[in-house]
Structure 1
Amino acid sequence: MPKRYKIEFIEQKDLICYYPASFTTIESPNEIVFGSKVVKCMCKKQPNGRNIISISSALAEQLCLPTFITAITLFESDKYLVLGPLIGVFSSGFTKFSVKPIGERSSIFSKLLSMHSSVGVVPFLFGEEHIDWEKKLIKGFFFTKEGWTQLTIPFPNVIYDRLPNRRSEKLKTSMLVKDKLEKEYFIPWYNPGFFNKLDVYERLFNDRKAILYLPETAPFTSFDQIERMLSKYGHIYIKPMNGSLGLGVHQIILDKIKNSYYCRYHDSKNHLLKFPSLEALINHVFANKNLDRMIVQQGISLLRDKRRPIDFRVHANKDEHGNWHISAMAAKVAGLGSPTTHVKNGGEIKTIEEVFKDKEEQIKYKKRLEYAALDLANAIEKHLDGIIGEIGFDFGIDNKGNVWLFEANSKPGRSIFAHPNLKEFDLLTRKLTLSYSIYLTEKFLNKYRELSI
């Protein structure tokens, strides 16, 4: 089992490493590994029973091992000392400014990378333009106490995909980098790709646990389809298949008594429009929109807070053992007149305790949301492609207490962590995001060991 140790760097010209006294190896190692770098050196057990890793300055230079790190994970191996994991956080949109190397997103990444010592990992940020394929090196961005710094390091043990949007994901350069590092260098690449709402629904439809949480969802086909679903549910949502942040979401409501149709949506402001017929509504609201790229979803009569609908964000993360954990949970209350609960549309973040004042209700709904998130996380991992290490779920709870899945996000936003009572969960989600790389690295080393036998 890999273990986190403190690390120190000693001024010495010899290539030497002193490994912790408690660390056991089958053979006396004479090579040390960091990312894709393998260096022959003298490896000795620490004298006087010290449980710390000591690396000579000469060896650190050969390994391209950053000397600002204070803790790292040591993996068990028959022949080598393996330090790491070296985590490459892959993204796009880099600037020429050293203070903000990736623009406004720099602060998000600085918070993630600053967790390195508490987890025992070495994370860095990079893009396609920072790779030297010939030398198998990357000029990666690290975040230290002094701020951002760029260092040359070897290819990483794992890659965490943080491309910002579907457009950057579909760029030929992005796809080539992923393909080459995965297939030629066998580097595990986790959280690749954005989920497609309809694809998730169709793949989960035959899962006996997941189906319990799925509202009726289908690609738009005709007015008759919308009329049927409105007649059955009273209201529906029309959403972009590949949308995010609540953009392009329309709520259609049927008033059976007045035989009128209402449409609620947000562009620069919240709208609620009334129409005498569905045809008039569609022709007016969707005149310049491609309905073939939309899905139609069953409306749910949600629990409310002061007459405003509530939905719930639940974060699920894998840990260093490869197990799912519920790492954060919050309520999102819709803004007045908004079809979604997004903060940009006037939504408000609340804790579960703020929404449910009764202690028994808090416990009941927390458990239901946790069970739903774990059931769906396991189902998504089983039925969708790629290595998935984190998911942000958007759930609704109806008036009968049933939990419904509105959306699963492979790259969940972090707006809920602006709430002062959710700071500890902000730290936990970041910590687990990096911890999962320990599991992936160990899994790869075991697989490599099996292939070598």
Structure 2
Amino acid sequence: MSQKKVAIHISGSGILQDDVVMIGEKFLKHWKIPAGRPLQLAFGSFKQEVTIISVPKFEGMRVSPILAERCGLTSRAVLKIRYFDSSQTLRIGPLISVLISRDHPDKPDRPFGSITMFCSELVRACQKRGAYVYFITPDHIDSVTGQIEGWVYDEGWKKRVMPIADVVNNRLTSRKLENKPSVQHFVKEVKSRYGTVTYNEKFLDKNEVFEALKSESSLKRYLPESHSLKSFAVLKNMCQTYPVIFLKPVRGSLGKGIIRISRQSDGTYMTLSTKLGGVQKQAYPSLSKLFAGLSGKMKTTKYQIQQGLHLIDIGKKPVDFRALVQKNRAGKWKVTSIVARIAGGSHFVSNLARGGSLSTVREAVNKSLLPGDAKKNAYVSLHKAALSIAEGIDATIPAHFGELGIDLAMDYSGKVWLIEVNSKPSKNDNTPLNDNKIRPSVITMLDYSAYLAGF
């Protein structure tokens, strides 16, 4: 059993029989693949008996147009090969599908909207590393037949009927879409029928994460006191304990719907709420009046109530940190990047969607009033926390994750705190996209997919 990359060539019409595959002679010798006798060719869920022909002085693999169409392959594909002598199976791959929320067939240059550049970047990474990727939406999912319509890149974005992939990367950005019966059925069926592995398989909510991590004694130091807001008693206890507390929608994202509550010196309470146009301020004469004001929201939104922290800032603008933690080609967690996020304008949250800006960790901590030793150790402390929290999520939450966006903060003693964990981190929170560079996060995503697929 061995493995290597090979370029796929599609012959002219009528030159090759549909059950014949030509492979360079030196590759056959290297992989010890027998020529001239039937083998099973496997690509994702696709399987067909083929005969291998050895070709001198040829570096590649040539198939007929009909066989390529059955596989969904394009002539620019570069794939890894694994030969299993015991089953006489020649596997090519890995075949990866990315499940995204929606497509726009009427916009051929940007069929996936704001993530089109990321999708193009992933295609380029596949060609470089040896893999094949296609993109599907919940609308493509119907009954599981061994094939599915997806988007591939072949001198432009095109729809093509594809085999079920070895691996599905769930990039759905909506819980509603993810929980559709057709999507849930698809994930279960492809796993049971074809052994397809799906990762990033569910959204996380804030209470779930904090309750799970509380069970890990080594992680408690990163956790601000947090509870599910279910009663006035919980609100009263937290507001009596801490001068500032935060209410966060359990299933919120992008800083939406967060409420900051501060106790004033005269016993009144002030709230700041994130709104589309900025921040809304409101005063309440008592905590009971404040709770009454929240009651309407609590009927439709579940909140996490969390201890307010005295975090580092730059010019009174709060700073936090987004760590992207991913599993690598060995299936182990690694920290791919950590960036600082600085709140914008009058906002008290740092999300880019709320006008925040990015900075390196070093630049942000150097501009803060952190003590010297804390500045020196900041990156190491954040790195250690992010890795430990990712491992804790794996150990305590029964779901398969391949990448996590872990939001951290730091107080003026240099202590690191967990803000939240996102199982569908944005691809735009790291280094900026450009037409040539393939980001480390994309390479790592691809490496982990190959690991899951057995390549």
Q: Does the TM-score normalized on the shorter chain lie above 0.5?
A: yes
SS at 2:454's partner residue? helix
Give the letter for the 1:124 counterpart.
Answer: Y
SS at 2:439's partner residue? helix
Report what 1:24 is aligned to.
Answer: 31
Give the letter for the 1:39 counterpart.
Answer: Q
The 8 Å contact of residues 158 and 437 in structure 1, kept in 2 or not, is answered as: yes
Residue 338 of structure 1 deviates from its aligned partner by: 1.8
SS at 1:395's partner residue? strand
Report what 1:450 is aligned to.
Answer: none
Give the letter for the 2:313 counterpart.
Answer: R
Does 2:221 correspond to 1:212? yes
Residue 133 of structure 1 deviates from its aligned partner by: 4.5
The 8 Å contact of residues 261 and 278 in structure 1, kept in 2 or not, is answered as: yes
Does 2:238 correspond to 1:238? no
Residue 130 of structure 1 deviates from its aligned partner by: 3.0
Distance, in Å, in 1 between the alignment partners of 2:432 and 2:291 is 38
Distance 1:70 1:221, change over 3 A: closer
The 8 Å contact of residues 142 and 149 in structure 1, kept in 2 or not, is answered as: yes
Give the letter for the 1:336 counterpart.
Answer: G
Report what 1:35 is aligned to.
Answer: 44
Distance, in Å, in 2 between the alignment partners of 1:376 and 1:175 is 27
Give the letter for the 2:16 counterpart.
Answer: K
Distance 1:24 1:68, change over 3 A: closer
Does 2:414 correspond to 1:433? no
Report what 1:110 is aligned to.
Answer: 120
Residue 44 of structure 1 deviates from its aligned partner by: 5.4
The 8 Å contact of residues 317 and 348 in structure 2, kept in 1 or not, is answered as: no
Distance, in Å, in 2 between the alignment partners of 1:26 and 1:418 is 42
The 8 Å contact of residues 126 and 141 in structure 1, kept in 2 or not, is answered as: yes
The 8 Å contact of residues 10 and 68 in structure 2, kept in 1 or not, is answered as: no
Distance 1:7 1:398, change over 3 A: same
Distance 1:44 1:398, change over 3 A: farther
The 4+ residue runs of structure 1 with deviation greater than 6 A are 26-29
User: Mean Cα displacement is larger for which, 132-141 or 313-322?
Assistant: 132-141
Report what 1:406 is aligned to.
Answer: 419
The 8 Å contact of residues 21 and 47 in structure 1, kept in 2 or not, is answered as: no
Report what 2:333 is aligned to.
Answer: 324
Residue 9 of structure 1 deviates from its aligned partner by: 0.9
Distance, in Å, in 1 between the alignment partners of 2:144 and 2:281 is 58
Pick from 389, 392, 412 the counterpart of residue 376 of structure 1.
389
Distance 1:116 1:340, change over 3 A: same
SS at 2:84's partner residue? coil
Distance, in Å, in 2 between the alignment partners of 1:7 and 1:60 is 15
Does 2:147 correspond to 1:137? yes
User: Mean Cα displacement is larger for which, 61-70 or 326-335?
Assistant: 61-70
Report what 1:72 is aligned to.
Answer: 79
Distance, in Å, in 1 between the alignment partners of 2:433 and 2:186 is 38
Question: What's the Cα RMSD here?
Answer: 2.8
SS at 2:97's partner residue? strand
Distance, in Å, in 1 between the alignment partners of 2:69 and 2:204 is 41
The 8 Å contact of residues 8 and 75 in structure 2, kept in 1 or not, is answered as: no
Alignment of 1:219-258 (within 5 A): 219-255=228-264, 257-258=265-266
Give the letter for the 1:266 counterpart.
Answer: T
Alignment of 1:165-314 (within 5 A): 165-255=174-264, 257-268=265-276, 269-284=278-293, 287-290=296-299, 293-314=302-323
Distance, in Å, in 2 between the alignment partners of 1:235 and 1:46 is 73
The 8 Å contact of residues 334 and 342 in structure 1, kept in 2 or not, is answered as: yes
Distance 1:24 1:415, change over 3 A: closer
Report what 1:5 is aligned to.
Answer: 5
TM-score (structure 2 length as normaliser): 0.87
Q: Structure 1: 5+ residue runs without aligned partners?
A: 444-453
Residue 225 of structure 1 deviates from its aligned partner by: 2.1
Render the CA deviation track for 1:194-238: whole Å, top value 9, x for unaligned.
Answer: 001111111221112222211111111333322322232221111
Distance 1:367 1:23, change over 3 A: farther
Distance 1:75 1:298, change over 3 A: farther
User: Mean Cα displacement is larger for which, 211-220 or 309-318?
Assistant: 211-220
Distance, in Å, in 2 between the alignment partners of 1:210 and 1:45 is 57
Render the CA deviation track for 1:385-441: whole Å, top value 9, x for unaligned.
Answer: 2221000000011111111111111101234236589x97x7111121122111111
Distance 1:231 1:45, change over 3 A: farther
Residue 25 of structure 1 deviates from its aligned partner by: 4.3
TM-score (structure 1 length as normaliser): 0.87
Residue 241 of structure 1 deviates from its aligned partner by: 1.1
User: Mean Cα displacement is larger for which, 171-180 or 20-29?
Assistant: 20-29
SS at 2:194's partner residue? coil
The number of aligned residues is 437
Distance 1:118 1:402, change over 3 A: same
Report what 1:366 is aligned to.
Answer: 379
The 8 Å contact of residues 166 and 195 in structure 2, kept in 1 or not, is answered as: no
The 8 Å contact of residues 114 and 143 in structure 1, kept in 2 or not, is answered as: no
Does 2:94 correspond to 1:85? yes
Residue 26 of structure 1 deviates from its aligned partner by: 8.1
Residue 96 of structure 1 deviates from its aligned partner by: 3.6
Give the letter for the 1:442 counterpart.
Answer: G
Distance, in Å, in 2 between the alignment partners of 1:235 and 1:62 is 61
Alignment of 1:408-423 (within 5 A): 408-417=421-430
Distance 1:385 1:76, change over 3 A: farther
Q: Structure 2: 5+ residue runs without aligned partners?
A: none
Distance, in Å, in 1 between the alignment partners of 2:157 and 2:164 is 20
Residue 281 of structure 1 deviates from its aligned partner by: 2.5
Residue 43 of structure 1 deviates from its aligned partner by: 2.9
Alignment of 1:127-166 (within 5 A): 127-131=137-141, 133=143, 135-144=145-154, 146-166=155-175
SS at 1:88's partner residue? strand
Give the letter for the 1:212 counterpart.
Answer: R
The 8 Å contact of residues 75 and 81 in structure 1, kept in 2 or not, is answered as: yes
Does 2:406 correspond to 1:393? yes
Give the letter for the 2:239 counterpart.
Answer: L
Distance, in Å, in 2 between the alignment partners of 1:239 and 1:135 is 42
Distance, in Å, in 1 between the alignment partners of 2:144 and 2:263 is 62
Distance 1:113 1:56, change over 3 A: closer
Render the CA deviation track for 1:256-285: whole Å, top value 9, x for unaligned.
Answer: x33231111111321232332222223335
Distance, in Å, in 2 between the alignment partners of 1:212 and 1:25 is 54
Give the letter for the 1:190 counterpart.
Answer: Y
